Amino acid sequence: MVVEQGQSFLDMVLQETGSVENALAMAIENQLSITSDLQIGQNLNAVPVTNKRVAALFHNNNKPATHQTFPDSGNLSPILGGIDYMAIEVDFIVQ
């Protein structure tokens, strides 16, 4: 099976086996950590399907893709906003 854009290791486990309970077995099979970042186009070896109904949901173009990359955390500044940071007639307009 080939990793597509946006897919995490757990996405691939769910897609191929129908259950995230197979994560450890698939990690051992592929000599990876379950938190490993996968590369687009990377080939993974599958383990047996345990939940055929769930695995059947992920055919053709219906594939889970929950992986997100974030910028270096050292460059992030907190976003101060929301109702806790609003002042009447400054940020919070009363009409």
For the residues 50-66, what does the mean pLDDT come to? 87
Range of the domain at 63: 9-70
In this prediction the pTM is: 0.69
pLDDT beyond 90 at 72: no
pLDDT beyond 80 at 78: no
Q: Is residue 44 situated within a structural domain?
A: yes
Structural domains in the chain (count): 1
pLDDT in tens, 26-54: 999 999 999 988 999 999 998 999 999 99
Q: How far apart are CA 25 and CA 84, in angstroms?
A: 46
For the residues 8-28, what does the mean pLDDT come to? 94
Helix, strand or coil, per DSSP, at residue 25: helix
Q: Is residue 2 situated within a structural domain?
A: no
